Each structure stands twice: as structure tokens, then as C-alpha cells.
Structure 1
Amino acid sequence: MAATGVGRTVERETASGVEVSPVAGHIGAEISGVDLTEELSEETVGVIRAAVLRWKVVFFRGQSLDHAGHVAFARRFGEPVVLPRRGSASPAGVPEIETTADRLELGGRFGMEHEEWLARRRHTLLRGWHCDHGARVDPPAATILRAETVPPYGGDTTWANLAAAYAGLSAPVREFVDGLRAEHRLGVGYQPRPGDDAYVRHLLDHQVATVHPLVRVHPVSGERVLFVNGYYVEQIEGLSRAESAAVLEMLLEQAVLPEYTVRFRWEPGSVAFWDNRATIHLAPGDNAHLGFPRTMHRVMLAGEVPVGVNGKPSEPITGTEAGRW
């Protein structure tokens, strides 16, 4: 249904007491009128599924999910991914959940403090934008992130709509990128420390790389999605390194234009549910110096092998056999 305001119409959908209220022009909606701890009806599940497909990321506030409830909710929409390696803050006995506690568990992990590790990884200003596990041959279809403890200010997360970004390209550029493929690899752009570098050894021991279409066709909506991010993409096949770098910079800048993004202010009990096939997101970088705790719990849902406009699927290079994350 549509609610009218002064001089404008507000798009809002309501079904069985569940209300979907968009919060930005191209991406993001808040869903109210649902308690995620309860047994959800098929109609409610359908409303949520449709909202994620339409708005790419949806937000719930004031939820009281525990770990078991988080996993149970996720299972209504797919099969949770089980990681063989998780952060040190992750709960024992709940393998579907990965927990980050202010990223403090990474401090000293590779012989350097988190700030140095982050600086060595981020070789461009857009390096932090990523989809979850995008170097895999079958990246997760969706992610459900739950906030336990958040700072009183700062710590927001931002998402970008990759389908809208693709549609916003000019017709000649869309035609150009439709047939391209790019290598996605862990550790792209990392600057090693002089001498022995524990993180380099980690990357070599756990390397994952895949050739993905630069434009993938969404398996449900059929939308064309600009499948690019600053975290994993190494190089566009068939282009020189200089050409590839220029094209990737242009496409990533297109993807994160403000009009294609939404920023979410977390509260304890907030839940974000996003389509990992059609979005990239940026974790906050404005709260590390504040000293406030930020504890988040994540469940990812198993996804498909991406397929390009020409019908050609992604191809694994290394470390992407089934079950390895």
C-alpha cells in the first residue's frame, strides 16, 4: 500500500501486520510488526523474502534473538554456512554463527596490531567495500547480522545496491562490461611487512581465488548485477593491468555513489538481512579509537555459483572446492 504525505507518496507495504518501510531511494527498508523469536508464518516469511529481494537489505529493530533463535530464523530462508575457521569470539557449540567483538580478536594475531594490519590491506580508499566471501566460487546468497553491543555513537554499516549501480551505467559501458570476467582473490593489494610476514603465510596456506563474471545475473530476480568490490577483485581478464585498474576504479566508484547506498545506525537487538549477491557493504571505520565495545553475530546462507550474461558460470582457480572457506 502507499501512504501519502504532504506533496509526495511514500511507498509502504503492509501484510498480516508486517510493515515494510523503505528508508532510501534505491536500497534499504525497515520491517516492523514482526518478532523474530516467534514461529513465523509462511506469509510473513514471504513478505521478508520479497523485501530482501526488492530492497537488497532490510532492518529489524528491538529483537531479542539468542544464538539458537538467530540460526532458526536464518534456516527459514536457506541453509546456514558452517565455517571451519571462525574468530576467537565466536560461540562454542553454534558453528553457524561467527562473532566479531570489535575486531579485538585480531589484535596481535599476525604479529601486528589491527591498525597496522588494516593499513597494509587497504591499498585504495575503496578497499573496505566487499561482499561476504566473494573469492569463493559460490559466495553466500545472504547474510543476517545481529547486534549485541554497539557504541553510543559511530559504528554504522553502509550497503550499496549493485543492481541499481549497473542500471545507472551508460548503455555503451553496460555493453562493454557484460562480457568481461575478473579474478577475485584473498589478500588483493596487501603490502607485506619486511621480512617474515605471518599474514602472507596465512594467505598462502588458505588461498581462495575464482574467476567471476563482472556482471552476474541474479538467480531469482533476473537483474543484472555489477559484481565488483574493492576487497577481492584482482584484475579483469583480457585487459592490461593499467586498463583493468582504471576500469575497476570507475566501476567501483559507480557502485558506491551515495544515491545507491544506505547507512544503518545500529542499536542493541538490531538485525540486518541482506542479499549478498546484489550488494557490497562497508564495515565502520570510525569507532576503533573510541574504546566502546561492538559485538556482532553473523549467519550466512549458502549461495549459488554466479552466472554471467552469456550464461557462463564462475570458475574456481584455487581453494574453492566444496566446503572450504
Structure 2
Amino acid sequence: MVGKDVRATGVEVRPVAGHIGAEITGVDLTDDLDDAVIAAIRAALLRWKVVFFRGQRLDHAGHVALARRFGRPIAWPRRGSASPPDVPEIETTADRLELSGRYGMERAEWLHRRNDTLLHPWHSDWSNHLDPPAATMLRAETVPPYGGDTTWANLAAAYAGLSAPVRDFVDGLRAEHRLGVGYQPRPGHDAYVEHLLGHQTATAHPLVRVIPETGERVLFVNGFYVEQIIGLSRPESRAVLDMLLEQAVRPEYTVRFRWEPGSVAFWDNRATVHMAPRDAAHLDFPRTMHRVLIAGDVPTGVDGKPSEPLTGGPGGERP
């Protein structure tokens, strides 16, 4: 239900799935939004983990200005980025071209070598950092007429859905989040392995982190960055992580979004994992998206202890 304070702003929040996701209407994101509207959006984000807006007319400057109302946008590195040179906070991804030619590999080979399991593509952004982004704001410019959906999962609901003995077990564990996990090197020279060796970033994060604003515990798992739970053997880590990732992405904890030009998705990067489209690479349609990441803080576990750097530090290398 939408509270009276939300209705008074003209903002309407419509949940779209049982555990995660809500569509927000009554807001033109190009307006100079007052503090009450920003508070209503923030409350919906904390409750539903990802919120969606349709029919928006944001440009790059407006996108960054909107993100700034919720925190500090992160500037992207310039290395071969498709981002506009005058707006460093924007990352642009252009369908199949995004990974083509990267580190000397075409997209198909790149995906094959970095995706070692079916759960691997599920991730939160940059969790190898000591201070992963708090939130992500993604807007669609051009989308295919079909295919290209994004899916999110609610990590708070996933944690709550574990049995009490398993919750007690994972509350005290920490996991290593590391850039390049699961990557299968190419024979001979491999430019991506060189990149990993020169720009490695890894962090020991609590396997269960606490969201400061709500006190919620979330299952801080990430198929893209994690393969080792500290203190467990590699086979034990694999078994536990597979179990937890399967729990995190159970269909009842997920929402799938059909993009349209002008759609905006805004999600809590601390309390969700998401999976980019897996069904559009073979389609001859453009898909151009623009992303802004909002800076976060150092996660804290159930025991009150913060994450610790293993290699690198805050604001380290992106994938």
C-alpha cells in the first residue's frame, strides 16, 4: 500500500511482483523534484529494491543530476570507454558492441571464457571493491522490439527465506570478492590475464551484510565475483555458494523488466543481484543503455565488523 505522505507528493508506487520491484508514476524525472518526492522514491527503493519509471526524457546531464539527489555519482575510467567524454559519470553500453574486441576477443568468446557456471552472470556491481556502489540508475535509449529484458533478485527476501540453522551458519562467514573469478584463460598470451595481474582488486566481505537504513540482513552473494568463502575449502565453498546463489535467484524472489525507450530502472546495489539479458545477442536489433553508479560505503556484517581489503582499496578497478 502507498502511504498518505507518498500520495500527497503525487507519486504513485505500484508493486509489480511479490518480493521485489515497483513502478513509480506521477513523476517527471526532468523536473526539479522537491525533497518530498525524492524521499518518496528513496522509501520505495528501500522497500522494493528496484523501482521503474517509464516514458522519461532524461539526457546525460539530467541523468547525472538526478543521481546526484541520491548520492555521489562515480566517474568512470576512460580506458576505451563508450561513455561521453564530457560526462564521465555516464557509462554507455551498446548491445553486442559492448564486449566485441575487448582484450582481443569477440563477444562470444569473451562471454564463454568468463561465464563458468549458469549462476555466474548473476551479480551486483563492483562488489570486488571495498566500498561497492550503493545504487545503480540505468536508462534505456534504444531497445529491441522483443528480448533484452533485465532481471533482479531480492537478497533480503532470499536471506529471510533460509532456514534458521542456515542463517545462523552464514551470519558468521566472510567471502572473497575478486575481479576475474571463474575466467578461463586463453592458450598462450592472454591480454585479460595481464589486465587482472596489473589491476587486481579483492575484498573480504561479510556473507550477510546489514543495510544501515533498514537494519535488514541481506545475503551478500555474487556469482560474478565470488568463488571462495574464507575458512572453507574450495569444494565446501563451491557447494555452499551454489546453494546460496540458487536460493537468491529463486523465481519468487525475482522481477523481470521489459525495457522501452525512455525507461529508467533504479536499484539498490547492496540488496539485489541482477542478470543482464541473455536472449538478445543473436538478434539484429540495437540496444543502447546509459548507466550511472552511486557511491556506497564499506559493508558491515552481523557482527558489526566492516569489510577488509585484500588487494586494492576503495574505488578500485572495475571489471
TM exceeding 0.5: yes
Please, which of 266, 279, 283 is the counterpart of residue 273 of structure 1?
A: 266
TM-superposed deviation, 1:316: 0.6
Match of 2:291 in 1: 298
Deviates more, 1:86-95 or 1:291-300: 86-95
TM-superposed deviation, 1:111: 1.4
Match of 2:42 in 1: 49
Q: Are 2:30 and 1:37 aligned? A: yes
TM-superposed deviation, 1:86: 5.6
Deviates more, 1:200-209 or 1:115-124: 200-209
Q: Is the 8 A contact 2:2 2:12 kept in 1?
A: no
Match of 1:8 in 2: none
Please, which of 177, 201, 208 is the counterpart of residue 170 of structure 2?
A: 177
Please, which of 11, 15, 31 is the counterpart of residue 18 of structure 1?
A: 11
Aligned 1:1-325 pairs, distance under 5 A: 1=1, 14-85=7-78, 88-322=81-315, 325=318
Which segments of 5 or more consecutive residues in structure 2 lack a partner in the other structure?
none
In structure 1, the residue corresponding to 2:141 is in which secondary structure? strand
Which segments of 5 or more consecutive residues in structure 1 lack a partner in the other structure?
4-12
Deviates more, 1:286-295 or 1:77-86: 77-86
Q: Spell out, residue by residue over 1:75-106, the C-alpha distance to the aligned partner (whole angstroms, 9 max, x if none).
A: 11101011224653211100111110114142
TM-superposed deviation, 1:324: 5.2
Structure 2 CA distance for aligned equivalents of residues 322 and 159 of structure 1: 24
Structure 2 CA distance for aligned equivalents of residues 179 and 121 of structure 1: 29
Partner amino acid for 1:240? Answer: S
TM-superposed deviation, 1:206: 1.4
Tell me the TM-score normalised to structure 1 length.
Answer: 0.95
Q: Is the 8 A contact 1:74 1:144 kept in 2?
A: yes
In structure 2, the residue corresponding to 1:37 is in which secondary structure? coil
Structure 1 CA distance for aligned equivalents of residues 13 and 89 of structure 2: 27
Match of 1:6 in 2: none
Aligned-residue RMSD, C-alpha: 1.4
Q: Is the 8 A contact 1:143 1:273 kept in 2?
A: yes
Instruction: Mark the CA change 1:108 to 1:192 in structure 2 (over 3 Å): closer, same or farther.
Output: same
Structure 1 CA distance for aligned equivalents of residues 33 and 2 of structure 2: 25
Instruction: Mark the CA change 1:86 to 1:141 in structure 2 (over 3 Å): closer, same or farther.
Output: farther
Structure 2 CA distance for aligned equivalents of residues 105 and 262 of structure 1: 24
Q: Is the 8 A contact 2:129 2:316 kept in 1?
A: no
Q: Spell out, residue by residue over 1:237-282, the C-alpha distance to the aligned partner (whole angstroms, 9 max, x if none).
A: 1111111100000000000000000000000000000000000000
Structure 1 CA distance for aligned equivalents of residues 129 and 197 of structure 2: 15
Q: Spell out, residue by residue over 1:4-34, the C-alpha distance to the aligned partner (whole angstroms, 9 max, x if none).
A: xxxxxxxxx6332110000000000000010
Q: Which runs of 4+ in 1 moved over 6 A?
A: none
In structure 2, the residue corresponding to 1:50 is in which secondary structure? helix
TM-superposed deviation, 1:112: 1.5
In structure 1, the residue corresponding to 2:282 is in which secondary structure? helix
Partner amino acid for 2:161? Answer: G
Tell me the TM-score normalised to structure 2 length.
Answer: 0.96
In structure 2, the residue corresponding to 1:288 is in which secondary structure? coil
The alignment-based identity, stated in percent, is 77
